[in-house]
Structure 1
């Protein structure tokens, strides 16, 4: 019986060790399964609102069908205004069908992405939700809460308690959101990198496949740690000695696939994945405060953030005073442990012979702390490729433990 308990305990532990699935929900992929929302989905992408939705952890998207979108498009609003109107349809809270019908006191007020943008005047960026007679639920912008602008139609998809997609009957009317607004613009990564002190890093990116990895991650959030031009210039001989995959991995090691401001980095000390992280190839680094400074540590080197080059969500770029060296690509130059000193008696009896010019030979050149681990012959850690499938080793552990349990 005790063996059964022990096996059950091991099985429970293995379940805990399973890699967790990501909470990221890509709204355009979800809505693509429903043709009736194709126009709404198209404008989420066209106005660059989709990446903002994907970065949120807890949201409710109030989708409208193609007929309702036609009524919005007939107003011939600017693309910036269309984005504001649609951002009014993204609530910064989780509401599925059950929660909508069980609102405390019959009403609730929800903030939206429009409100969080800072461009919504007064209370125009809030949506009021009201339980109506006959089991219906009404939704209206706060600045027009005396009328029911739209009603809840159905739940489309839900991932409690992170993302809920519901259908509502009409587009929210909002003079504030419909006012002319500048067109949304994409962040130009190359221009941002070249602005101050990161031109050499931008050039290195452009010469490898890492540039596409960086660009494809900007919309969902990216924090880049860019070695200054001087630091990268002195490192280039060693960089050029890497394989093509090694160069790509090294560059991708200098970015985290999340947006963090400098203040955010100060408050989120600890290990972090990078764009180079791929299954067993950890390529992780450590963010750590050092007084008012923020340092980025690897097993080999500690670099300091010396300036903020660019910071506008979803992209931040910080200049470092050194190149980051991952242990997957470079060997640490650890000092050898000194041999123990001889005992006093041995020291008295053993006298070292005098060195002569014939016995002298020049010392072997010391390997630099950042020399490639295995040179250009292609160490496995150098051969990083993007987009590898995750390795769910935990399932093999569970199967083995379960089989052992059956044998008891």
Structure 2
């Protein structure tokens, strides 16, 4: 009998093959989120991966559920990214939300009937959440009034609820941060113009504006003092999810190059008979296998002290490998690789996008560098060999004369 994760992975593979791949070009042309596709993902069990079964979820551990995006990424990395963020919010809502919130929202979120997304980044702060300006004022009746703006909000205008990180005072730092879920139909919520993106126009992204938005205290997901810590955990999950999706992207690029090279006639044989082509694609294949091992190990570490560092390793290495893979596979097709029907131009742009979202490659390097500093501090000093590293005294040549 197949296990639950095997069934879900097969469902994701089928969804990528039958729903995403044949339609993604049309989605991009229409510049509209494919709600019918995400509804189908929900029906297949792909929108409540980590949520408890009693709320309609699959109850998968993070280490297993994150593998779903590797399958979805073979269809489209941006689509996989959007579903990964929905699953993270659903996980938070079902795991940490109030009972009234879960009664109202949980089953709609796990089924995909309603979509959720995460709002942390602000226009002026980027990767520095300490400079957050969005404020929540707690009213006498327990409701929260929220003012501020968020940037790079995925599923903008499309999601039904936004898990939003706010500050509750003007005191510097993070001890007053909280997370509250804001319904899309709340009075005072609005969105700026949708960002124009090169190859994932079906995924709506924009700024979100909050003008005296009043939200019930039932919608508090993480109370005051836990907002930043919970957000960082969500970002770690997102980073590993992105690495998983990048593996699917790499597989799609490699398969496209192999399908082309095995039939392209050249120099008395096919492209794939040439050592140079084999070596190029062999390097992609090795990077793909290394990437799979790395993101799966990082997924297993989530929730442990090693989780943030392993997520940073995965987010630094795998999207970079995906960019390299997409470019290499484009090169294998030569001029044909520039044609849109082959899709490699789309994969190249997607890979670059996935290097940036939820923490750039450079931010991951900062996390890794700080971990190395801590490790270095705990290592013994190396002894300096005699005669090396000593300050030489200047010779008084005049005295010698």
TM-score, scaled to structure 1: 0.31
Higher helix share: 2
- Pick the structure with greater CA Rg: 1
- TM-score when scaled to structure 2? 0.31
Query: Larger % of strand: which?
Result: 1
